[in-house]
Structure 1
Amino acid sequence: MKIISVTELQEQLAAQAVTLIDVRSADELALAAIAGARHMPMHELPQRLGELDPAAPIAVLCHHGVRSEMAGRFLEKNGFADVASVAGGIDAWSTDVDPGVPRY
């Protein structure tokens, strides 16, 4: 699994080259979000694998990067070929890409 920076994520999103999966809880999502991300809370991921294309590039996001790395490894173990975890998560996005996204 790859680890990508938030600036790499920004470039991939601009090019529509990746599906962004946000694995945070609904409460966290209500505090801060990235437009266009698909919300799939970590505990729902096993039941929702069928909603994702295993051949498509996927980036996984959480608050700081721990849960996204676990979720990314889970996706890889379930046949997803091109998975990346976003280093620093939404917190890094808020500080490095879009200060309009609140930090919590």
Structure 2
Amino acid sequence: MKRLEAAELAAYLQQHRPRLIDVREAWEFEICHIEGSELLPMGRIPEAVDELQRETREIVLICHHGIRSRQVQLYLARYGIDHSINLEGGVDAWARTVDPDMPVY
């Protein structure tokens, strides 16, 4: 399963336009999120499987530290969704290495 560190994802985004899915809760997303990402909380992933199976772009999964997004990646793989990328270290790593102005919590 594919995974990228924050700096690698930043470089990847210069050349590619994947679908950025943030699996945190709404209150976390309100504090900070990567520009262009959409909120799809982990608890709503099961109801989104059909839609995600039809997604033709790569899917980047994002959470706070990369743990929930990894769990979602494993879950999606059980449904044949193997075009996902996990952001290692999550938005916390993104804030530390890519966007130092991003709020952290």
The TM-score, its normalising length taken from structure 1, stands at: 0.91
1:18 counterpart residue number = 18
Structure 2: any 5+ residue segments left out of the alignment? none
Structure 1 residue 8: Cα displacement:
1.7
**Structure 1 stretches of at least 4 aligned residues deviating more than 6 Å after TM superposition:** none
Is 2:50 the partner of 1:41?
no
CA contact (8 A) 1:55 1:81 kept: no
Alpha-carbon distance in structure 1 between the residues aligned to 2:99 and 2:71: 25
Please say which of residues 65-74 and 55-64 is displaced more in the overlay: 55-64
- How many residues align? The count is 104
Is 2:69 the partner of 1:78?
no
Structure 1 residue 62: Cα displacement:
0.3
The TM-score, its normalising length taken from structure 2, stands at: 0.90
Alpha-carbon distance in structure 2 between the residues aligned to 1:11 and 1:51: 27
Structure 1 residue 58: Cα displacement:
1.2
Q: Secondary structure at the match of 2:72?
A: helix
Percent identity of equivalent pairs: 37
Structure 1 residue 19: Cα displacement:
1.3
